[in-house]
Amino acid sequence: MKKNKYNKSLLLLFASFFAFGIFFTSCEKDVLDLVPYNQISENVAFDTPEKIALAVNGMYEAAQVGQYRLPTGDGLRGYPFGAAFVQQGDNRGEDVVNTQAFYQITYMGTYNSTTANNVFYWNDTYRLINRINIVAEGVQKAGEEGIISVEQANEYLGEALLLRAASYHELLIHFARPYKHTADASHLGVPYHKKPFTTLGTIDEGFVTGRHSVGECYQWIIEDLDLAEQYLPLKSARSGNQKVSKGTKGAAAALKARVYQHVWDHAKVIQEASKFVAGGVYAGHYALGAEPWTVFTNNYGSDEYIFGMENSETNYPSVNGALASQYKRRLLISHSPILWRNPSWLPDDKRRDEPNMVFKEANGVIYTHKYKDDVGYTDLSPMMRYAEVILNLAEAYARENQVGDALTYLNVVRDRSLADPTTQSYKASDFADNKELLNAVLIERRIELAMEGRRFPDIHRLQHCPYFPIAGVPGKVQTGFAPAEEFELFDASGNLKGPYSGELLYAIPYDSHLFLWPIPQDEINANPKLAEQQNPGY
């Protein structure tokens, strides 16, 4: 009981920070408890238009920067969307190498219900969801009371619903089995909260809430995204960095296309992704950059970025979380020879370009250069790119055996990076059937979206692919600095060396409990319902 009381007080503490507009403005953020736990009124945050705008901004703040150590609050990290979704999504897959100890537990799959990264991924994402729900409820009430216009209230609500959908989808990927694990998706998902916890009474309700089914969770995610798209403005209605760092109709549609991939509704993927191409409602709002690195050199001004979290010199996930800190300055995550030497990635592909796309250290190890600012850490976190939407469209068309359209959209993305598209672009004759074309799309995703956190989500959904199933988590290169020769594409005679053939470690079978992250032990201790629903094996 004492433990439960502590957890309730802690939840109320975070609700109080949010409800009263106590927002943070520097990377060294001070957490101040300005009101007693039992005197919280979230209405204070929504009684003027100015406070409401701050409340909405605070919601994005919670999405960008989470806490790593509680209750002291002295460990800022990028949970979930400031950086952690990239780092964890990469390290759970085989296309990177963990070079040092920082991500070793994730990379090797030795996590348990108390290991930090998976614990705070859950905690900070649910803390974000509670803030989102406070905003959703508060702005609707403010609109009804005339504090802001109904139109403005709906726009803010759309922003909240977009972030809520993204949050729950992220939780499902790491803590629940894929959609097709059961025929009707009736297996356990995650607890899906639509109302905020701001009183001891509502927290009591939360402590007896169990996990909803995966099918229910995806249904509600899609409902949230449908409403978000309806309420949000077009990208053209926003200005400056907010064109990509705040919710838009395009962001909601792009996320829907991704979500429909995970529920294997190819027709819906085509419907949503087609909104971005010729004849679609968002055609002209987004485009590929001239070069594959353009989007990464002009984050906030690029038409290729659809949505991501803004980082600035005074507001980023700390040197222990920022993308350019981990991937560039500290060299914690390198490319893997597994992907680097994949024969489908042509040797003269521009995505191998030094220094625009990668850089090589003196030991011969190759690192990504997608995240460039290792001083101010201002790189946008890449939640959604136009290139991914087009590849989603290509994949869906290939699965539907519409090979002409699939080939067209695959080449839209791939040709940009080819040294000579006139000779290297794929032709229909390169593929015997739609399955071979589908395989090319899946490999292209790995190349194009490398180091952007998309590998494990693809591993997760492709467990039940009828043509190219991935059996659990594939084997990886030994943790540490891979030998320089493993990154060399050509042998001493100038011949292509072919695929990486070295030892592979840390593979996780699909039926292993380690394929999923466990619900944190503190949550299990506090919530008797979840104690009955812990992922088996933990």
Domain extents in the chain: 2-74+111-232+522-531, 75-107+280-507
Chain-centroid distance of CA 394 in Å reads: 21
Q: Tell me if 513 sits within 8 A of 535, measured CB to CB.
A: yes
- 3-class secondary-structure state, position 64: helix
pLDDT in the model for residue 13: 40
From 35, 349, 57, 204, select the one nearest 357 (Cα to Cα): 349
Please list the pLDDT of the chain residue by residue as tens digits (538 residues).
Answer: 444 443 543 444 444 344 333 333 333 333 223 333 333 356 688 999 999 999 999 999 999 999 876 555 557 789 999 999 999 999 999 999 999 999 999 999 999 999 999 999 999 999 999 999 999 999 999 999 999 999 999 999 999 999 999 999 999 999 999 999 999 999 999 999 999 998 777 777 777 789 999 999 999 999 999 999 999 999 999 999 999 999 999 999 999 999 999 999 999 999 999 999 999 999 999 999 999 999 999 999 999 999 999 999 999 999 989 999 999 999 999 999 999 999 999 999 999 999 999 999 999 999 999 999 999 999 999 999 999 999 999 999 999 999 999 999 999 999 999 999 999 999 999 999 999 999 999 999 999 999 999 999 999 999 999 999 999 999 999 999 999 999 999 999 999 999 999 999 999 999 999 999 999 999 999 899 999 999 999 9
From 243, 244, 251, select the one nearest 282 (Cα to Cα): 251
Contacts with 279 (C-beta within 8 Å, 6 or more apart), sequence order: none
| Beta-sheet pairing, 366-368 with 333-335 | unpaired
DSSP state of 69: S
Correct CATH for 75-107+280-507 of 3.40.50.2000, 1.25.40.390, 3.50.50.60, 1.20.1250.20: 1.25.40.390
Q: Tell me if 479 sits within 8 A of 105, measured CB to CB.
A: no
Instruction: Give the 3-state secondary structure percentages of the chain, helix then strand then coil, rounded to 5.
Output: 50, 5, 45
Q: Tell me if 163 sits within 8 A of 100, measured CB to CB.
A: no
DSSP state of 199: S
Q: How far apart are CA 371 and CA 40, in angstroms?
A: 40
H/E run at residue 221? helix 214-231
pLDDT in the model for residue 69: 64
Structure tokens at 521: 């032990």
Q: Following CA atoms 5, 70, 134, 117 in sequence, which dihedral angle do they give, to the nearest 10 degrees?
A: -120
DSSP 136-162: HHHHHHHHHTTSS-HHHHHHHHHHHHH
Structure tokens at 232: 């949000």
pLDDT in the model for residue 209: 84
From 481, 467, 537, select the one nearest 508 (Cα to Cα): 537
Domain 75-107+280-507 in the same topology as domain 2-74+111-232+522-531: yes
Structure tokens at 171: 């939780």
Q: What number does CATH give the domain 2-74+111-232+522-531?
A: 1.25.40.390
From 56, 237, 70, 206, select the one nearest 142 (Cα to Cα): 56
